[in-house]
Amino acid sequence: MVKPIKITIIGAGSASFGLSSLATLLREPSLRGSTLALVDINAEGLALVHKLAVRMNREWDAGMVIERHHERRDALDGADFVACSIEVGPREELWRRDWEVSKRHGLNQPFAENGGPGGFFHAARNIPHILDIARDMERLCPKAPFICLTNPVPRLCRAVAKYTSIKPIGLCHGIAKAYSTAGIALAEQLGVEAPPLVRDPHAPHQGNYWEVVMGFQRQVEQVVDIKAAGINHFTWVLDIRDRRTGEDLYPAMREGILAAPHEHEPLTVDMLRLTGYLPVTGDTHIAEYLPYTHDPVTKPWERYRIALYDWAGAARGRERMWGEIERLAAEGGPDLERLRHAHSEGVYEVIHGIAHAANVYRVSINVPNHGAITNLPDETIVEVPAVVGGMGVLPLRVGALPAMIGELCRREASLVEMVLDAAVLGDRRLALQALALDPLAGDLDVTRAMLDDYLETHRAVLPQFNGRWQL
């Protein structure tokens, strides 16, 4: 029996929510009769996404009620699930400034999204808005889980868990990178062939790059089982096996990676050599959590060739996405059939698993630890495999992380608590302590100057540091 539910999507009028998540909610029969409430302050974007959702609903005979709201409280009232993909913008411009501020003070900060000074201020910009939403949920839909699609996932989810009674669930597709890495290293043994774009991501892109990459990852997933754990964007492959035979593939994968030319992901390879375990998400992400990437004398960023985020390219990609949404939303526009086969980001699986006690297995999900990783604090938001069912998200107990990896993750877990307290209270002293504890920290006088620069540069989007917001 189908159970109608109400799903509220906050940030639905942003391209970052994604066509795949929208499609997976509308294509599934188990949600028939449910209400999909789309919310965004971007009126133009929301109108387009709503128009596309209405077209999908009609042409796929999904039988859902599609609502559009500019005021989130109207959409939150009575919601069973809330998914959030908001981002304080302009996203690329603010992200670039994060990198430029640290660069002015001599810190070559890799990536600057989830860790380092950039990660602090990325979190601090979003935390007030995330907590305002969670506070509204406490009044209007207190039993609904908060499904977070916004980075930094561990910090925002922990903010919700620490400062409200709402239960957070974080989703990220980063685990897919491990399947690509394993597939390349084990191609002959697994009987798969990595396309040129997967073997060399820096080669000229032909066709749809991400469709090629995801197609290969799904091919590998069919024959390989991976268990990975840690903190989002800083997770580690603990076990890898052949689904067909149960064979432990770790020795062969390790040998294959270490024997290959190291032009691709050299920091990842170095960490595998150092710890014996493979980091999941690639050089740009793990570099944010490590103290080995920013020495101004040895310049390890040159040795590891850690690429900066392509802010201009991301902005162009966002414009292309809006163009595609506009074409798909138009009456008589392109066939929607391709979207029926979109790869899920996990929103549907979480909703279906909980609402219908479906016991859906997810290879990675972000939830409070509660003993899943025994050498990290219970309150830490960890990324682990889990079963999603009527009792909520039940993380698998993976045990203790290897000693060095566990200590690196434990330090990040401690840093998260300090970042949250500083960002929620608008406390400059705590903010300085958080920046000083970060693995990318150096000279304290430079750190103080950098903090002042960040707070002035981002003054307009940090209301808590200027007395304009409080929990």
pLDDT at 211 (0 to 100): 74
pLDDT at 203 (0 to 100): 55
Domain that holds residue 248: 176-280
Q: Are 297 and 102 in contact (CB under 8 A)?
A: no
- pLDDT band with cut points at 50, 70 and 90 for residue 98: very high
More confident residue, 20 or 99: 99
DSSP per-residue letters across 390-401 = TTEEEE---BPP
In a shared domain, residues 156 and 182: no
pLDDT at 2 (0 to 100): 65
- pLDDT band with cut points at 50, 70 and 90 for residue 386: very high
Q: Is residue 185 part of a domain?
A: yes
In whole angstroms, give the CA distance from residue 127 to residue 423.
7
* Count: domains in the chain: 2
- pLDDT band with cut points at 50, 70 and 90 for residue 253: very high
pLDDT in tens, 341-377: 888 889 999 999 999 999 999 999 999 999 999 999 9
pLDDT in tens, 270-324: 999 999 999 999 999 999 999 999 998 999 989 998 888 888 888 888 888 888 8
For the cut 80, the answer to whether the pLDDT of residue 445 exceeds it is yes
Q: Is residue 431 part of a domain?
A: yes
pLDDT at 446 (0 to 100): 96
In a shared domain, residues 201 and 267: yes
Residue where a domain terminates, one of 248, 280, 312: 280
In a shared domain, residues 199 and 122: no
In a shared domain, residues 78 and 125: yes
In a shared domain, residues 39 and 76: yes
User: Six-digit token pair at 224?
Assistant: 């390989």
pLDDT at 204 (0 to 100): 52
Q: Is residue 289 part of a domain?
A: no
DSSP per-residue letters across 107-172 = ---SS-SSSHHHHHHHHHHHHHHHHHHHHHHHHH-TTS-EEE-SSSHHHHHHHHHHHSSPPEEE--
pLDDT in tens, 258-284: 998 767 899 999 999 999 999 999 999
In a shared domain, residues 271 and 313: no
DSSP code at position 248? B
pLDDT at 252 (0 to 100): 97
Residues pairing with 38 in the sheet: 9, 68
In a shared domain, residues 267 and 367: no
| 3 state SS of 28 | coil
More confident residue, 15 or 36: 36
For the cut 60, the answer to whether the pLDDT of residue 254 exceeds it is yes
pLDDT at 32 (0 to 100): 95
In a shared domain, residues 150 and 46: yes
